[in-house]
Amino acid sequence: MTLTEPDTRPQSSPTAEDAEVPLGRNRQFLLMWAGSGAAVLAERFSAAPFTFVVVYEGYAKSLAGLVAFAALLPQLLVQLPAGVLVDRWDRRRVMIVADLVRLIGIGSVAVALVLGHVWIAHLVVVAFLQGAFTVFYTLSERAAVRFVVAKKQLPVALARNEARARAAALGGHPAGGTLYELTRWAPFTSSAVLYLLSLLAILSLRGPMPPPQRTNPRSPLAEAREGLTWVWRERELRIALGLIAVSNMIFQGIILALQFIAKDGGRSPLSVSLILAAGGVGGLAGALFGGRWIQRARMERIMVVTYLAWAMVLPGMIWADDPWLLGALFLLMSGIGASVTVAGTVHQMRVTPDRLQGRVGSVVLLMVSGFSAFGALGAGYLLQETGTRTSMIVFSAVMATLALVAIVVFGPHRNPRGRHLAPRPRRTTRGRHCW
């Protein structure tokens, strides 16, 4: 998400034929949408079972945090290099390789569990690989959308993609929990099948989807620095990304805490999956609303409303132990999060030049998701040392602080004349404006 003015330089666009095809009849978009949906569903099927294997086999809470940390660590380590490479490589080819690696990795976990083996090191490695290649896949798909839809269709297409992800969470979490209760290898086997379906769909796309032509090739380090510079120009942008990074760390702590609340209350993995599925319901509704929200409100206002709402809802989880109440609260928080995610993604896609889509997207995802790994790791130790109740109090206090910062930085009093929080244009030697 960037708080900058739109870039006016030419962007790549689909062919005129594709531009006239509604999304519902656009074969390329539907194949990409369905294939990516299968991949997202595969990740959701196996996400919670990775920690279920640790939690319900009686391992320490810190080890559950370690596995979750490994799954999220690629968001921190892989984002920047992946962004540079996605801007250099064919996007369709990257998605194919990512599906293959994830298929093999998840399949190996299924085989190990069928044979009756649980190795924490094995779970850590596969969780990391799945997370790493999901980063490559996500950045490639986001950049490839421009090849299959018209520029004016981007807001609707991206909103549908986010709704697809939230719907996958809605169905994937309870399905993963149900399959785990049947037998612990079932969710991983199902994930492998879904990755195979995703691979077949992406192979069916008409290619290639090459990166933009590079007239002045530079080193990967220089290109990564360009993406960082583009994103980090503005003080308000840096603060916005910092707020989102910390709030996403809190969300990882909440998700881990919900699993131990259920286990300590004598409830099954399915109950946790249903609570997470409630978050999927809220996320689906929020995703559908987010595309319209960005058309009616500036990102500054969206930031303030989002953090105030989160700060008011989260304290309700401190003393809640009823699955229905926890599900309702998680539904509200996820709905708010999905709305701001869609709004920010649409805004970022609009203002980013095509040649920087991968790098800028990687920097933004690095900030908003990369530090989530430390949220999972820290939450594991916090839960083990203080318990779930105290941990929830800490999460609520941090969220309230974030809301205060959002009001101070983005509140209407900071922009009384309604001016945009955007960088002033710099004039180039040719007399044109560049942002």
| CA angle centred on 333, ends 283 and 372, rounded to 5° | 90
Q: Is 103 left (phi over 0), alpha (psi -120 to 50) or beta?
A: alpha
Reported pTM: 0.61
For the chain (length 435 residues), average pLDDT per consecutive 10? 42 45 76 85 83 75 81 81 81 90 93 86 92 89 78 73 71 74 85 92 79 65 73 70 84 83 74 77 74 72 88 88 85 84 70 70 72 77 85 92 90 54 38 29
pLDDT of residue 126: 93
pLDDT of residue 424: 38
pLDDT of residue 308: 92
**What is the rounded CA–CA span in Å between residue 367 and residue 80?**
10
pLDDT of residue 178: 77
Angle between helix 186-203 and helix 154-182 axes, rounded to 10 deg = 150
pLDDT of residue 420: 44
| Residue 169 Cα distances to 43, 144, 192, 353, 371, angstroms | 9, 23, 17, 31, 21
Angle between helix 323-351 and helix 299-313 axes, rounded to 10 deg = 170
Strand partners, 434: 426
Which residue has tokens 């719907």?
167
* Residue 338 CA from chain centroid, whole number: 10
Closest CA to 39 of 99, 81, 115, 96: 99
**What is the rounded CA–CA span in Å between residue 245 and residue 363?**
12
pLDDT of residue 358: 66
